[in-house]
Amino acid sequence: AAFFSRKKKLLNKTFLVTAGPTFEKIDPVRFIGNYSSGKMGYAIAEELAGSGAKVILVSGPVNLEVANSNISLVSVESAEEMYLECQKYFSVTDGAVMCAAVADFTPLQPEITKTKRGKNNWNLELKPTADIALSLGEVKKKNQVLAGFALETNNELENASQKLHKKNLDFIVLNSLNDPGAGFQTDTNKITIIDKDNNHQNFELKSKKEVAVDIVNKIIDTLKN
Ligand code: CTP
Ligand code: CA
């Protein structure tokens, strides 16, 4: 009975989840990327789908598979592509979880042909990318939930709380790079959830699958209010 009721909680709901890194092309054979594995975002997508929701998973390049058939995978490479796909789908959803490690800067002008080895320095000029979470926060309707992540190395609570308000999020999941076992390539995570009413919830170090359950429970609680 408990199993069945867990399953039913998000029936007829749809969520957008972003996951993984983005790759920003420098030339046809090179990119700027980051260490995100996508594991946290994929775990959240699976947990949402396991709770009965439909999920649109907009993912950067990762080595992960989708298991639940209620997840539609939209594969992208760059921050710009991720932005466009999120713009396309957000309005039909009940909310979004912004888990991706989106590049903050992208090459101003990627080279058309492969850059050859040489004696001189290569000075790359980068321009800022669009902030996807911020753009969804601007159009969010009052029945939609918007959740973000913050990976901080210092001043964690204050930085995370600033991001929460600036991007009009309902809650933000803070993971500190200072916590052993938390962060990019690990199978575990240690999080604090801060919501827009400034409630703080500290969780133990646990597997990313278990962390996904805590985050989905917070989504369910937020939808109820
Ligand atoms: N995010 C996003 N689009 C971007 C950058 C970030 O949607 N171009 C989202 C992330 O997915 C995350 C949240 O915004 O949910 C916070 O990301 P983070 O990198 O911690 O913060 P930034 O706002 O990018 O600020 P900074 O990196 O300078 O700390
Ligand atoms: Ca960033």
Tens digit of each residue's pLDDT (9 = 90 or more) over 148-176:
999 888 999 999 999 999 999 999 999 87
Domain of residue 86, CATH code: 3.40.50.10300
Report which ligand 1 atom has the smallest distance to the Cα of 149.
15
Q: State the pTM of this model.
A: 0.95
| Residue 148 CB less than 6 A away from ligand 1 | yes
- Mention every residue, 6+ apart, whose C-beta is less than 8 A from residue 130: 79, 80, 83
Any ligand 1 atom below 6 A from CB of 100:
yes
104 is in an annotated binding site: yes
Taken as a whole, the chain contains a residue count of 225
| Rounded Cα–Cα distance for residues 49 and 15 (Å) | 9
Does 218 sit in the ligand 1 pocket, CB within 6 Å? no
Q: Which tokens in the block code for residue 202? A: 């500290």
Query: Which atom of ligand 1 lies closest to the CA of 148?
Result: 15
Residue 114 lies in a domain: no
Q: Domain count of the chain?
A: 1
Question: Which residues lie across from 59 on neighbouring strands?
Answer: 19, 75
Question: Coil, helix or strand for 64?
Answer: coil
Looking at all shown ligands, the one closest to residue 152's CA atom is 1
What is residue 2's predicted lDDT score, i.e. its pLDDT? 56
Q: What is the mean pLDDT of the chain?
A: 94
Domain with 24 in it: 2-108+125-224
Which residues are tagged catalytic? 34
Query: Is residue 119 assigned to a domain?
Result: no
How confident is the model over 174-217, as pLDDT tens digits? 987 777 777 777 888 999 999 999 999 999 999 999 999 999 99
- The terminus-to-terminus CA distance of the chain in angstroms comes to 25
Q: Cα(216)–Cα(47) distance, rounded to whole angstroms? A: 7
Residue 120 lies in a domain: no
ipTM score: 0.99
For residue 143, the cross-strand partners are none
How far is the C-alpha of 154 from the C-alpha of 190, rounded, in Å? 16
Buried-state track 158-172, b at ≥16 Cβ within 10 A, e below 16: ebbbebbeebbbbbb
Domain-located, residue 21 = yes
Does a structural domain hold residue 199?
yes
For residue 6, name the pLDDT band (cuts at 50, 70, 90). low
Exposed/middle/buried for residue 84 (C-beta within 10 Å: 0-12, 13-18, 19+): middle
Ligand-binding annotation for 167, yes or no, is yes
Q: How far apart are CA 140 and CA 135, in angstroms?
A: 9
